[in-house]
Structure 1
Amino acid sequence: MSETDRSRSRRRRPLRVALGLAVLLAVVGYFAVQRSSNGGGAPYCTATATGAGSASAGTEQSYEMTPEQASNAATIAAVGISKGLPDRAVTIALATAMQESALRNLDHGDRDSLGLFQQRPSQGWGTPEQIMDPVYSAGIFYDRLAEIKGYTRLPLTVAAQRVQLSGFPQAYAKHEPDATVLTAAFGESATPATLTCSGPAPAAGDPERIRAELTRAFGKEALGTAHGGVTAGRAKPGAVPEAEVTLRLKKDGGPVEARRGRAMAHWAVARSKELGIARVSYGTSGWTAGTGGNRWQPRGTGGSDPHDPVADEVRIFVARRG
């Protein structure tokens, strides 16, 4: 190669690098815009907590998931709460499922391992059909965890290993920070935390299916004081009619009911895509699918809007076909 050719090659190199960087930035920018737009891009969910676990006060942590992962995380948390177990149990269960299946309900695994926790039918965990049911698999994990004396005081890896008998017991440790963030969103009332999901608003859902799924995850008590109706009569003219499933909490129930209310509200957000849930209201805030940056937004409490929160209630709104 002549000196002139070498000189030209050297001059072209920065140009190629600059063009490559520009293309990369354009691609990143495109997906960022798609993701932040209302209903654009692939749906995703984010759990955010401030000062969760060992994090210092004021430190914000977040964990991102697909809707499938969020739905499974919500189910794991709901089953633990329905059993009256502490947040530590929920964190152990979530970290275990993160390691074993990445919060996916797998129909395969090592040897005959299946499901969220990679439980084996041959080792007495249940039938394949049972293990593939997230409510069942979470329930039997908690049952065996609760048999371990003092499990809440054990390191997470030790507690998880005594249930799972894994070949890689230390692998659970790396998931503890993210599992703590998820637990804060679904459980702890003392930690400021939320779970939000993006994606387009669902076309329609079935209130009866939502009631059935709530009962499976949280137990019969979840619907013991529930009622439902249609908000079309109170909605603004031209609005899409919405069926409502309302879950009334026990008045003056304290932290226990606050924990349950938050868990049910975030369960509804996590499963919104799957169940056709358009809106959720709880406390002083509301979440609407496909709008408002996908975040919980402060709402009035005077009933000026038909979707406003009501004290001691979790309100779930389901879009109906016109």
Structure 2
Amino acid sequence: MPEPSPTPVRRRGRLLRFGGAVMVLLALAGYLGVQYLTGGTGAPRCKVVSGKGDGASYEFTPEQAVNAATISAVGTSRRMPERAVAIALATALQESGLRNIQHGDRDSLGLFQQRPSQGWGTTKQIMDPTYAAGIFYEHLAKVPGYSRLPLTVAAQRVQRSGYPQAYAKHEPDATLLAAALTGRAAATLTCEGRPDATPAGGAAPVRAALARDFGRDVLQEAGATVDANGSSASPAPVAPASPRAGDRTVTVPVREDSTAGAGVVRRGWELAHWAVANSSALHIERVSYAGREWTAGTSEGTWRTADDKGGAAGGKAAAEVRIVTAQ
């Protein structure tokens, strides 16, 4: 006699078990994806170390690195000193963990938990990290003697927080970040990067992000013009070695008068560290400056001495930062 067919109850049980297994797999895939994107275990990491050789360091995620780089770039573009950048970074570390969050106490939003109802701007504006950083510095600049005040006092004069002493615990990390991102501490910020990631448009997004954070003239050489996309065109442009190389490479001129920092080399490291901080988001593969080179996915993204092929050695070593995106 033929085997009796499974009862409807048994078939439903099998379907439920199969559906449950699929849901578990989907949830696991989603979890791993979120961990990779937001910096959980196994995700690419970033690290800043002290330029003093005292062993101090701070590890953070690619998302946090992008936001920290934006905060610093907006500050130096406004000619705010390194101390102001450290105050802003400590504030954002406390308020949002350097994440551009869409929630908070009452109507607080964004990196600095600014409130539309308190005149900080519209929701859309506050959720723009460049705007949020700019309006923070605008308020900080109005605090008399802020650079000489304790960090907690300066931050509280801007934020009016219910927990003003909480900013103090972030001062060491914020100070390390500010030293690297303003270029004072050379070759101190590294990221692992994503060398195997799918490119996100080549050089164009890098130019746009540079213009967004530093201003439209960041790519402008002497006598050059800058278009609405942040692309520069010199009076006598030099053709790249190949269209493919040109589509992947951004060369950023380094000018002493471009920042509130002291000197060309400091400005160069500011730009180079900005590029490394944005390496995962913008799929940057290599950054070269002043005879040093960072490459995604190699030895945790440390800075190494560059050879001639890296484009950082030679007479132009301190005159430009070279950023190469993934293929």
**TM-score past 0.5 threshold:** yes
Shift of 1:308: 3.1
Q: Which amino acid aligns with 2:276?
A: V
For residue 266 of structure 2, what is the aligned residue in structure 1? 259
For residue 297 of structure 1, what is the aligned residue in structure 2? 304
For residue 194 of structure 1, what is the aligned residue in structure 2? 188
Does 2:292 align with 1:248? no
Contact 1:135/1:217 (<8 A) preserved: yes
Does 2:211 align with 1:215? yes
For residue 48 of structure 1, what is the aligned residue in structure 2? 49
For residue 220 of structure 2, what is the aligned residue in structure 1? 224
Relative distance call for 1:60 and 1:209 in structure 2 (3 A) is same
Q: What TM-score results when the alignment is normalised by the length of structure 2?
A: 0.76
For residue 170 of structure 1, what is the aligned residue in structure 2? 165
For residue 132 of structure 1, what is the aligned residue in structure 2? 127
Relative distance call for 1:298 and 1:134 in structure 2 (3 A) is same
Residue of 60, 63, 74 corresponding to 1:65: 60
Alpha-carbon distance in structure 2 between the residues aligned to 1:188 and 1:166 = 30
Q: Can you list the C-alpha shifts for 1:248-273, whole angstroms capped at 9, x where unaligned?
A: 11279882433322121111111111
Gaps of 5+ in 2: 1-35, 222-231
Alpha-carbon distance in structure 1 between the residues aligned to 2:126 and 2:89 = 16
Contact 1:112/1:120 (<8 A) preserved: yes
Gaps of 5+ in 1: 1-34, 52-57
Shift of 1:41: 3.0
Contact 1:186/1:259 (<8 A) preserved: no
Q: What TM-score results when the alignment is normalised by the length of structure 1?
A: 0.77
Shift of 1:290: 1.1
Alpha-carbon distance in structure 2 between the residues aligned to 1:43 and 1:101 = 20
Residue of 272, 281, 288 corresponding to 1:281: 288
SS in 1 for 2:188: strand
Relative distance call for 1:185 and 1:43 in structure 2 (3 A) is same
SS in 2 for 1:246: strand
**RMSD (CA atoms):** 2.6
Matches within 5 A, 1:53-202: 58-189=53-184, 191-192=185-186, 194-201=188-195, 202=197
Count of residues in correspondence between the two structures: 268
Q: Can you list the C-alpha shifts for 1:137-195, whole angstroms capped at 9, x where unaligned?
A: 00000000001111000000000000000000000001000000001111152x45511
Q: Can you list the C-alpha shifts for 1:26-49, whole angstroms capped at 9, x where unaligned?
A: xxxxxxxxx9xxxx9311100111
Q: Can you list the C-alpha shifts for 1:235-294, whole angstroms capped at 9, x where unaligned?
A: 9xxxx9862110111279882433322121111111111111111101120111112441
Relative distance call for 1:85 and 1:221 in structure 2 (3 A) is same
Alpha-carbon distance in structure 2 between the residues aligned to 1:107 and 1:230 = 44
Alpha-carbon distance in structure 1 between the residues aligned to 2:243 and 2:204 = 22
